[in-house]
Chain A
Amino acid sequence: MSKIKAKRVGFRLDMTPMVDVAFLLLTFFMLTTKFRPPEAVTIDLPSSHSNMKLPESDVLTVTVAKDNSLYMGVSSQRTRERLFDTVVRPKLENAGLSKAAVADSLRKFRFDDSFKIEKEELARYIMMSRLADQRLRPVIRADNKADYEAVNYVIKVYKKMNLLNFNLVTVLEREVR
């Protein structure tokens, strides 16, 4: 009360700890941010009003591109490895690739979101991935302009394997009705 406080004009604040924290966070974000790997094909997804979200894990995606070519991918790296060991590895070894080359392909395969697949092989690959991971959820990601024939082919394959409940990937349509 009786003490008269000296006015503190222009005091200096030590900013060092704040700078430390800021840079720590900044470097963390900069180093851990992964840019999306360039996709093999660009897919123009159809729009719908559904706002169900795609689950993040245990997803088996079959992509149908605009030119009706098929691509397949599984979400988890462990399943990819198993798929590689059961399907791709024998193929490469039969083709006479060296061990180092096969290991190299595996490294690439592990980080590949999806890989091109022939129509006739689809059923076998899906079966193998399901053997590798029982909980896989089937998803179809088809281009707006893909022929119904190609999509129907995938649906039939799913149907044959008794996968009767699957998802179609869409983008949200803003138009409200």
Chain B
Amino acid sequence: MGMVDSPNERRGSKRSARQRKRLGFKLDMTPMVDVAFLLLTFFMLTTTFAKSNTMEINIPPETGEVAVAELNVMTLRVPGDGFAYWSLGEAAPRRVPLYDSADAHASLGSELRQVLRQETGKNRKMVIVVRISDKAKYKALVDIIDEFNLMKIDRFSLDEFTPEDEAATQRAVAMR
């Protein structure tokens, strides 16, 4: 046990003769051990190696066009007004809300999800072209790609949002 040598000092008074010299008294270390192990386990359990999750994206090189039949193309346009516009081939775009709630971590709207599931289910060769406007938020990109990953849709590509796309979405609004 923890033996501690007491300093053997003589105070030179009469009392010291009566007082027994305390040579090597025993010290109970249990509470100290308790505290030590408590701290130790706390540090061991709370130490985490921070690693973030990631989502992988492959983008096609600038050269090399892949020709796809028009009826197998679905265009999904996100102009940043809170709606998504989808169209098959050259058909007029149809408008669905991008999100159901205004929550910062909300998933895509259920209507849009249903459209994606339906259209990819109908046509196994469907290629989805995603065009996101510069005015939209980055969140839309992550949510859309995440949705594709969940639905096991691996045939999609990111494309530039052009003024023509803008015009097409405007027309879709005007038609309503």
Contacts and interface: CB of A to CB of B under 8 A. Distances in A.
Nearest to A36: B50
Interface in B18-48: 29-30, 32-33, 36-37, 39-40, 43-44, 47
B53 A46 contact: no
A175 B57 contact: no
Given A16-B2, A50-B146, A172 B138 contact: no
A19 B54 contact: no
Contacts of B29: 15-16, 19
A136 interface: no
Interface in B104-125: 104-105, 107
- The secondary-structure label for the interface of chain A is mixed
A54 B37 contact: no
Interface string A162-177: 1011111111110101
Interface residues of B, number: 47
Contact of B1 (A12, A146, A159): A12
A159 B140 CA distance: 20
Nearest to A164: B59
Given A54-B53, A169-B53, A170-B53, A25 B138 contact: no
Interface stretch (B90-98, B129-137, B162-170): B129-137
A155 B137 contact: no
A115 interface: no
B146 A22 contact: no
A49 B33 contact: no
A94 interface: no
A126 B25 CA distance: 68
A54 B54 CA distance: 6
Nearest to A141: B52
Interface string A10-43: 0010111011001101100110010010000000
Interface residues of A, number: 56
Contacts of A8: none
Interface in A132-177: 139, 141-152, 155, 158-159, 162, 164-173, 175, 177
Contacts of A5: none
A148 B53 contact: no
Q: Which 5 A-B pairs have the closest CB atoms?
A: A149-B134, A167-B54, A48-B146, A46-B142, A29-B43
Interface of A: 12, 14-16, 18-19, 22-23, 25-26, 29-30, 33, 36, 44-54, 56, 64, 139, 141-152, 155, 158-159, 162, 164-173, 175, 177
22 contacts: A16-B2, A18-B33, A19-B29, A22-B36, A26-B39, A29-B43, A46-B143, A47-B142, A48-B55, A52-B53, A54-B52, A144-B104, A148-B138, A155-B158, A159-B59, A162-B61, A166-B57, A168-B141, A169-B53, A170-B55, A173-B107, A173-B146
